[in-house]
Structure 1
Amino acid sequence: MRQIILIIGGNIGDRLSLITQAKQLLEEKIGKVSLISSLYETEAWGGNSKGNYLNQILVLESPLAADEVLDKALQIEKVLGRQRDIKWGNRTMDIDILYYGDEIIDSPNLKIPHPYLHLRRFVLEPLAEVVPNLVHPILNLTSTELLQNCQDDSIVKVIGEKP
Structure 2
Amino acid sequence: MTVCAYLALGSNIGNREDTLRKAIRRLNELPGIRVKRVSSVYETDPVGYVDQDAFLNMAVAVETELSPEQLLETALAVERELGRVRTIRWGPRTIDIDLLLYGSYTVQKEHLMIPHPAMAERAFVLVPLRDVWEGGALPVYNQTIDHFLSHLAEDHKGVRKWGTINWEIESGPSGS
**Given the two structures, how large is their TM-score scaled by the length of structure 1?**
0.93
Higher mean displacement: 125-134 or 21-30? 125-134
Letter in 1 for 2:99: I
Aligned to 2:173: none
Counterpart CA distance in 2 for 1:103 and 1:152 is 30
Aligned to 1:98: 100
2:45–2:55 contact (8 Å) kept in structure 1: yes
Aligned to 1:64: 66
Counterpart CA distance in 1 for 2:139 and 2:24 is 26
1:138 to partner: Cα distance: 3.0
Aligned to 1:124: 126
Change (3 A) 1:133 1:149: farther
Counterpart CA distance in 1 for 2:105 and 2:51 is 31
Aligned to 1:6: 7
Counterpart CA distance in 1 for 2:153 and 2:110 is 28
Letter in 1 for 2:126: L
Matches within 5 A, 1:121-160: 121-131=123-133, 133-150=135-152, 153=155, 155-160=158-163
Letter in 2 for 1:28: E
1:4–1:99 contact (8 Å) kept in structure 2: yes
Counterpart CA distance in 1 for 2:123 and 2:134 is 14
Counterpart CA distance in 2 for 1:142 and 1:133 is 9
Give the root-mean-square deviation of aligned CA atoms: 1.6
> Which 4+ residue blocks in structure 1 deviate beyond 6 angstroms?
none
Compare CA radii of gyration and give the structure with the larger one. 2
Letter in 2 for 1:155: G
Equivalent position SS for 2:130: helix
2:49–2:89 contact (8 Å) kept in structure 1: no
Higher mean displacement: 79-88 or 153-162? 153-162
**Given the two structures, how large is their TM-score scaled by the length of structure 2?**
0.86
Equivalent position SS for 1:5: strand
1:97-146: per-residue Cα shift (whole Å, max 9, x none)? 01001101000110000000111110111112221644233321011212
Q: Which runs of 5+ in 2 are unaligned?
A: 167-176
Counterpart CA distance in 2 for 1:28 and 1:149 is 37
1:136–1:143 contact (8 Å) kept in structure 2: yes
Q: Which runs of 5+ in 1 are unaligned?
A: none
Counterpart CA distance in 1 for 2:134 and 2:151 is 14
1:12 to partner: Cα distance: 0.5
Counterpart CA distance in 1 for 2:121 and 2:164 is 24
1:72-98: per-residue Cα shift (whole Å, max 9, x none)? 111110111111111111100000001
Percent identity between the aligned chains?
Answer: 36
